[in-house]
Structure 1
Amino acid sequence: MTGVGKVLAYTLMCELPELGKLNRKEIAALVGVAPMNRESGRFNGKRRIKGGRHRVRTVMFMAMMSAIQCNEVFKRKYQQLKAAGKIPKVAVVACMRKLIVILNTMIKNGESWDEKVA
């Protein structure tokens, strides 16, 4: 996949052996890119990411900065989120979540990258 280099591939292999064995919500939460609600009673807070494996998340952030520039799928998604009023960092984290979900599905099904399917 364009935007996934050796560093991200090695990091995922070493730090995330569960990749391909969990569903999309579980893998996003394990990496720490799933939005968590902060609500109680009448209080409605903002959704934030928290927890997860920070080493994987850090490498994924840098990989996503590259993927946004050279991968048409993530470039389109990022621009769509920014046009909807999201701040740049929120848009990048949403793209990171999409990346880990796609990679998890690819490994689970034994498929290769197809830009038309994503």
Structure 2
Amino acid sequence: MPELGHLSRGQAASLTGLAPFVRQSGRWQGQTRIGGGRARLRRSLYAAAFPGAHHWNEALMHLHARLRARGASHTSAIVACARKLLTQVNAVVARGTPWEDRPATAAA
């Protein structure tokens, strides 16, 4: 993904197909789905987010646990983790600095 580091979060998510879109018409309320974009990249991010959300990445583990506690399905929680992972990678490339896993500070 050569554009990485030059895109906003939403643009990067849309380009990879991780941006949610709602299918609805009039009073009919559809479901939110992901799709489009670069399918191979989307599958790779999903595959990376899966173990990250369960074992390796503290931020992804907290996000996954929070979404599951709120009632989200496992798949939608992993998709959200994949999007967060993409956002983290985009920020690292844009800054040109290595990733530092720092614990979140509590807001006073």
> TM-score, normalised to structure 1's length?
0.80
Stretches of structure 2 lacking an aligned partner (at least 5 in a row): none
- Residue correspondence of structure 1 range 93-104 to structure 2 within 5 A: 93-104=79-90
* Residue correspondences, number: 103
Q: Where is the strand percentage greater, Structure 1 or Structure 2?
A: 2
Partner of 1:36: 21
Partner of 1:105: 91
Return the letter of the residue paired with 1:33.
L
- Residue correspondence of structure 1 range 21-60 to structure 2 within 5 A: 21-60=6-45
Aligned partner of 1:71 among 51, 57, 81: 57
Measured at CA, do residues 109 and 117 of structure 1 come closer, stay the same or move farther in structure 2, by a change above 3 Å?
A: farther
Partner of 1:5: none
- Alpha-carbon displacement from aligned partner over 1:85-118 (angstroms, at most 9, x marks no partner): 0010000000001110111112112232222377
Stretches of structure 1 lacking an aligned partner (at least 5 in a row): 1-15
Query: What is the alpha-carbon distance in structure 2 between the residues aligned to residue 117 and residue 25 of structure 1?
Result: 24
The alpha carbon displacement at 1:58 in A equals 1.1
> TM-score, normalised to structure 2's length?
0.87
% same residue:
39
User: Alignment RMSD, CA only?
Assistant: 1.4
